[in-house]
């Protein structure tokens, strides 16, 4: 069954949420997962693509937008509509930055959700928390300090 982790940030800005997403992506990929970052829309996906190249000068996290030629050869993909193809090579994780829950989330071994103190994010992610719990998925909260 899919394990769901909520990371709760003290920050209120979208930038802080996306910056944390980059750090979390690096950690998840470093643990051997094939990771998919599910963005809210194409603009957020492009922003994440750029941030993953620049979030830490010493970091290198090979990634690609889903559907691009490079997506087949990297362990980290970014998309906003369709899920990546299942992988037999490595366990798969989903970092969900969409306000809702993608209907295909349960094909992943792990799902990470990031909550910050922005009102729209709080409302949407509280609803996600309730949905996961009502469906019987194991949910864990990680309260992060500023």
Distance CA 76, CA 17 (A): 18
Reduce the DSSP state of residue 24 to 3 states and report it. helix
**pLDDT tens-digit readout, 38-56:** 999 999 999 999 999 999 8
Could you identify the residue written with the tokens 């003290």?
Answer: 10
Residue 1 pLDDT level (bands cut at 50, 70, 90): very high
For residue 146, the model assigns a pLDDT of 67
For residue 73, the model assigns a pLDDT of 86
Find all residues with CB under 8 Å of 65, minimum gap 6, and list them.
45, 46, 49, 71, 77, 78, 79
Distance CA 92, CA 96 (A): 13
Query: E strand or H helix at 5, and its extent?
Result: strand 3-8
What's the whole-number average pLDDT of the chain?
A: 94
**pLDDT tens-digit readout, 4-41:** 999 999 999 989 999 999 999 999 999 999 999 999 99
Find all residues with CB under 8 Å of 79, minimum gap 6, and list them.
36, 37, 38, 39, 45, 65, 66, 67
pTM value is 0.95
> Between the CA of residue 31 and those of 27, 50, 110, 131, 143, what are the distances in Å?
6, 22, 12, 27, 21
Q: What's the mean pLDDT in 106-120?
A: 96
For residue 90, the model assigns a pLDDT of 82
């Amino acid at each position: 069954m899919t394990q769901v982790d909520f990371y709760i940030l003290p920050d209120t800005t979208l930038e802080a949420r996306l910056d944390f997403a980059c750090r979390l992506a690096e950690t998840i990929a470093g643990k051997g997962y094939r990771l998919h970052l599910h963005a809210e829309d194409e603009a957020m996906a492009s922003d994440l693509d750029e941030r993953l190249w620049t979030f830490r000068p010493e970091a290198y996290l090979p990634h690609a937008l889903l559907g691009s030629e490079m997506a087949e050869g990297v362990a980290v993909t970014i998309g906003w509509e369709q899920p990546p193809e299942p992988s037999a090579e490595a366990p798969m994780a989903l970092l969900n930055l969409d306000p809702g829950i993608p209907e295909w989330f349960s094909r992943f071994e792990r799902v990470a959700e990031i909550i910050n103190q922005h009102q729209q994010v709080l409302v949407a992610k509280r609803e996600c928390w309730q949905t996961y719990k009502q469906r019987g998925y194991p949910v864990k909260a990680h309260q992060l300090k500023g």
